[in-house]
Amino acid sequence: MLYIGIMSGTSLDGIDICVVDIANQCSLIGSHYVPMPSNLKADLLTLCSSANDEIARAALAGQQWVELAAKGIDTLLTQTNLHPADIRAIGSHGQTIRHEPSLGFTVQIGNPALLAELSNICVVSDFRRRDMAAGGQGAPLVPAFHEMLFKQRHTTCAIVNIGGFSNVTLLSDGLPTRGFDCGPGNVLLDAWIQDRQNSAFDKNGDWAASGQVQQALLEQMLKEPFFDTQGPKSTGRELFNLNWLKRMLSQQQKMADQDIQATLAQFTAVTIADAIMQAQPNTEEIWVCGGGAHNADLLQRLDRVVPNCAVAATDDIGVPADWMEAMAFAWLAHCCLEGIPGNRPAVTGAKGLRVLGAIYPA
């Protein structure tokens, strides 16, 4: 009952790979992080919008991504004293390059057939399109995993994943699991510091903490129509990107770079808080996972805008924040092989429960 989970998110910083023991409450056995090479990251970013020869470029980037993941799997198996025969399956999310639920499609590259060949392990991939075929958003998918892990806590809580984008799972006794994308997580924070300081990310949120929130800019960004809609909903780089931010800035008076970063951090905190409070106003606890769990400034901002909730990383309730999503796709691979539905219609808007994923035998 050992599975490998692979997740490469919208931040494009690297590939998370973990081994999970499904039989032992989905416990984490081992993990390995593979940094994304700068050339591959650049290729993936260009694939997020239309350009010349993108079919061939997507295929080549997918092959490079798989080769990187396969090496990471080898390293992880060595670190954990495991062999391919010990692993029932790999749950590989792949790398999202387009997500357009309003048009009925989503694209994750990461050639699963090649991954099965290189790893000699069965691969389960393509998790999102089955939900979309049933009328769903295809995202977020991790709420079903959160439900399995945390519903027995019997608290009214929210699990917030802050990666490139933020999404929330709402858990409450007597109610179906709900969830949806809140909006940008780190994507605009990363884009702005990369543009102005050539840094990959704002470590601990220190740059944002040095600035002052510009209320006029914040209010303008909050007018984006995405925030007027209730879930199910999902979003991505197709909407929120550096060009979107620069359009917002073009309508404002000039301001200091660090003030813009502070405003973006407040924007992320406020959109998460508003999403939770509108959908589940009696929330008692907010548990944060993903890369944003390491952003001390962002967590402090979130704590301030939801003063009646405890805010902490999921590490405090037994699940490492860095590995939550990779663990989830290991579990979703298990669900696929066992014929267990992996979506939640109240989350994605699908017509009903569906078994997610396509199987590529070793």
pLDDT digits (tens, 9 = 90+) for 303-315: 999 988 999 999 9
- Same domain, residue pair 212 and 181: yes
Give the residue-averaged pLDDT of 158-184: 95
- Same domain, residue pair 32 and 104: yes
Q: Tokens standing for 139?
A: 């995202």
- Same domain, residue pair 82 and 100: yes
pLDDT digits (tens, 9 = 90+) for 275-300: 999 999 999 999 999 999 999 999 99
- Same domain, residue pair 56 and 128: yes
What is residue 325's predicted lDDT score, i.e. its pLDDT?
96
- Same domain, residue pair 68 and 205: no
What is residue 51's predicted lDDT score, i.e. its pLDDT?
84
Peptide bond connecting 143 to the previous residue in cis, omega within 30 degrees of 0: no
Structural domain total, the chain: 2
Alpha carbon distances (Å) from 232 to 102, 226, 335: 12, 11, 22
Q: What is the phi-psi region of residue 238: left when phi exceeds 0, alpha when psi lies from -120 to 50, beta otherwise?
A: alpha
Range of the domain at 245: 143-317
pLDDT bin (cut points 50, 70, 90) of residue 168 is very high
pLDDT bin (cut points 50, 70, 90) of residue 179 is very high
CATH number of the CATH domain containing 13: 3.30.420.40
Give the residue-averaged pLDDT of 232-260: 95
- Same domain, residue pair 327 and 306: no
Alpha-carbon distance of 32 to 76, in angstroms, equals 6
- Same domain, residue pair 67 and 154: no
- Same domain, residue pair 245 and 331: no
In 311-321, which positions are buried (b, 16+ CB within 10 angstroms) versus exposed (e)?
bbbbbeeebbb
pLDDT digits (tens, 9 = 90+) for 34-92: 999 999 999 999 998 888 899 999 999 999 999 999 999 999 999 999 999 999 999 99
* Helix boundaries (H) for 222-362: 242-250, 257-279, 296-305, 324-338, 345-348
- Same domain, residue pair 233 and 348: no
**pLDDT over 90 at 230, yes or no:** no
Last residue of a domain, one of 285, 300, 317: 317
pLDDT bin (cut points 50, 70, 90) of residue 21 is very high
pLDDT digits (tens, 9 = 90+) for 187-221: 999 999 999 999 999 999 999 999 999 999 999 99
- Same domain, residue pair 159 and 203: yes
Number of neighbours of residue 125 by Cβ within 10 angstroms? 25
- Same domain, residue pair 225 and 84: no
- Same domain, residue pair 175 and 256: yes
pLDDT digits (tens, 9 = 90+) for 294-351: 999 999 999 999 988 999 999 999 999 999 999 999 999 999 999 999 999 999 999 9
